[in-house]
Amino acid sequence: MVDILTTPVTELKGVGPRKASALNKLGINTINDLLTYFPFRYEDVGVKDLTAVQDHQKVALKGIVATDPTVIRFGRYKSRLNFNLLIDHNVVRVTFFNQPYLSKKLQRGEEVILYGTYDVARQSLSGIKIIAEDTSQRNDFTGVYNSSKEIKAGTIKKLVHQAYENYHESIRDIIPGSLRRKFRLLSREQMIKGMHFPVNAEEATQARRTAIFEEFFLFQAGLQELRKLRRQEQQGVKIDYDNKKLREFIQQIPFELTKAQKRVVNEICSDMHRPIHMNRLLQGDVGSGKTIVATIAMYAAVTAGWQSVLMAPTEILAEQHADKLATLLSPMGVNVALVTGNTVRNPRLRRELLTHIEHGDVDIIIGTQALIQERVHFAQLGLVIIDEQHRFGVEQRQTLLAKGGNPDVLTMTATPIPRTLAITTYGEMDLSVIDELPAGRKQVQTVWYNKKQVGQVRSLLREQLDQGAQAYVISPLIEKSAVIDLKNAEEVYQNLKDHFEPRYSVGLLHGNMTNDEKNQVMQAFKAGELAILASTTVIEVGVDVPNATVMVILDADRFGLAQLHQLRGRVGRGDQQSYCVLVADPKNDFGKKRMETMVATTNGFVIAQKDLELRGQGDLLGKKQSGLPSFKVGDPVTNLNILQVAQQAAHDIINADDYTTNNENRVLIEYLHQQIDNGSRA
């Protein structure tokens, strides 16, 4: 039995260097590549009865050439070929544009089958092609292949045929039999045959289901296998934490952890306990309670004598984290230190702080980028946690990691990654998901007003302020230019002052302020000295002011769904009913759909999925950056269900105890290792 995975296409008759190179450009190097180069659509070229044809349907018609074909040329390259076709007693006028050479194939009095678009009223056929003259050997239902300038679709079709004829007995099943039976998949040979040479649409659809499954499954299995191999190589720290102390600490937390929080704590702790390197992504919607999970993980490391570090993207956030952690952990005898641009300004304090860290007097260090810039040395760094990971570049993270031996890493993000993307792009990280919000949380009520309804917005604001709550009013960055951005936010600020002061004081926050100024305003808002905060999107990430219950977003259609969701996440953090007010007159359907989505759901994952559908998957992260693999048959968005099932199946097989010993997996393992070898050579 030959191995079609390694047999080059040049083994086929008629494939010399030139055709081989044309095929290579289409990604076809081996027989297997060719056999999985599937048609992108199918044509039904079965001859139809004239009375059954619908207007503008593409059909094959059989008839007798009743008049001599005439060719009329116009312009330099344009022409029109005309003749009458006699079908029973009906005369159909046939026109072919720009294919004058066809006239040679058309003899008056002969029977032909033509494929084209039929116009019922005019009783005419706009011809596309003449179908095979030999009517006995034809398949009515036929695939259409993507081609290139260098190789015609017809040639590809013939080569596929030849490859199938010569090698179909060598097509081995890669997907293990038990899995095929479980998901009622076709054998690989049946699938390939059905994709290329289906008898009808139904058979093509059947084959396609198996093809998509196979594609997703093999991709996922490849990722999982790779991760397993890497993991075996990567030694990491073993954090032998004190389970008893950890449990005591968890009991002291003023609330009960959600089921999801408990699950991810277990996942993280068991990773830390193993002597392998942890590289885990903790994903949870805004307000799902990631901070407490991070706190537990850091405390676990401390009980084993390791230091932990938490890096946040802004000073406001770092301070907020430090406050919370110190409150929770000081009673446990844990030392928490804050390292930000602010705290290291005083040279004496700075030296002292850094010395404490280096000597291991400090257990938990929380900070901003200053952690990287400053000459911070750790005594024994065991765990690194990165909050809001998308705010940091890869290098910043690497620099931080280099400060420890090979510390375990937990990355946290509130950006809900649609499952599709998480599955296809985060293959190298282990994923922990907090998929529920703490109980008793009231859903934020979202309303959408147009700009004329500003009166309603103001009365909602006033009503909430009268009850002692606080509010954010966000205006968008109109242009990239900071000047215009400022002007817009300042106008809004003035306007709010005019309407609400002196009864309620209004503050202003924007990106052009210094860190000190920003902090002052933020502190005033937190302390309740400001009732309304007019702001640009600088408050987008992480800020936690539970008394704020209204989020007004002006020109909301200028924001993407992910950002709107982030902004909305700033309210609804206490036990008061909260509101998100979108003010927008969207100019197009997409803007409208975004508003409707926000009103319809508060579920970040649903929103992220919707975002994906509205923008197209390539756009979400920028096509180049996204690292999304391009699939040949499957579409991760429309075939999400198959993707999920295939991922689970791949995970189960690769991680089964008998994975390597089970004879059923032999071909799969061979296949995967071949792919991995190819990948590492490329």
The footprint of Mg ion (CB under 5 A) covers 542
Strands 78-87 and 90-97, sheet pairing = antiparallel
CB closer to Mg ion, 507 vs 542: 542
Q: How far is the CB of 366 from Mg ion (least distance, A)?
A: 13
- Block residue for tokens 């002006």: 554
Question: Maximum distance among all alpha carbons in the chain?
Answer: 104
Minimum Å gap between C-beta 291 and Mg ion is: 5
C-beta of 286: minimal distance to ligand ADP in Å?
Answer: 4
Among residues 16, 57, 11, which one has the least CA distance to residue 34?
11
CB 620 within 8 A of CB 626: yes
List the single partner that 590 binds among Mg ion, ligand ADP, none, CB under 5 to 8 Å by kind.
none
Nearer residue to Mg ion within complex by CB, 390 or 458: 390
Residue pair 296/432 in contact by the 8 Å Cβ criterion = no
CA 8 from chain centre, in angstroms, equals: 34
Please name the amino acid found at residue 27: G
Cβ proximity to Mg ion, 542 vs 636, nearer residue: 542
**Of 11 and 323, which CB lies nearer to ligand ADP in the complex structure?**
323
Q: Which of residues 527-566 bind ligand ADP (CB under 6 A)?
A: 544
Binding partner at 261 among ligand ADP, Mg ion, none, C-beta below 5 to 8 Å by kind: ligand ADP
Q: Which is nearer to Mg ion, 413 or 644 (CB)?
A: 413
DSSP 8-state class, residue 427: T
Task: Report the nearest approach of ligand ADP to the CB of residue 283 (Å).
Answer: 10
- ω into residue 331 within 30 of 0, thus cis? no
Minimum distance from residue 299 beta carbon to ligand ADP (Å): 15
Q: Is residue 171 a contact point for ligand ADP (CB under 6 A)?
A: no
String of b and e for 380-393 (b: at least 16 CB within 10 Å)?
ebbbbbbbbbebbe
Please report whether residue 354 would count as binding ligand ADP according to CB under 6 A: no
Selected from 15, 414, 433, 556, the binder of ligand ADP by CB under 6 A is: 414
Residue 438 contacts which entry, Mg ion, ligand ADP, none (Cβ below 5-8 A, type-dependent): ligand ADP
Binds ligand ADP (CB under 6 A): choice among 40, 97, 101, 255: 255
Name residues contacting ligand ADP, limited to 384-413 (CB under 6 A).
none
Q: Is 258 in the site for ligand ADP (CB under 6 A)?
A: yes
220 or 258: whose CB is closer to ligand ADP?
258
Single out the residue of 437, 462, 440 nearest to residue 552, CA to CA: 462
Of residues 263-302, which lie at the interface with ligand ADP (CB under 6 A)? 284, 286-292
Nearest approach, Cβ of 302 to ligand ADP (angstroms)? 19
Residue nearest to ligand ADP (CB): 289
Nearer to ligand ADP, 457 or 550 (CB): 550
Nearer to Mg ion, 469 or 541 (CB): 541
- Whole-number minimum distance, CB 388 to Mg ion, in Å? 7
Q: Residue 520, CB half-sphere, CA atoms under 13 Å: how many? A: 7
Q: Does 257 bind ligand ADP (CB under 6 A)?
A: yes
Question: Which long-range contacts link 195-200 to residues 24+ away (Cβ below 8 Å)?
Answer: 195/38, 195/39, 195/143, 196/35, 196/38, 196/39, 196/143, 196/160, 196/161, 196/164, 197/139, 197/143, 197/164, 198/42, 198/141, 198/143, 199/139, 199/140, 199/141, 200/141
What is the C-alpha to C-alpha distance for residues 521 and 530, in angstroms, rounded to an integer?
Answer: 8
First and final C-alpha spacing in the chain: 27
Our finding on whether 602 is near ligand ADP (CB under 6 A) is no
Going by their DSSP bridges, the two strands 532-535 and 470-474 should be labelled as parallel
Q: Which residues bind ligand ADP (CB under 6 A)?
A: 255-258, 261, 284, 286-292, 414, 438, 544, 573
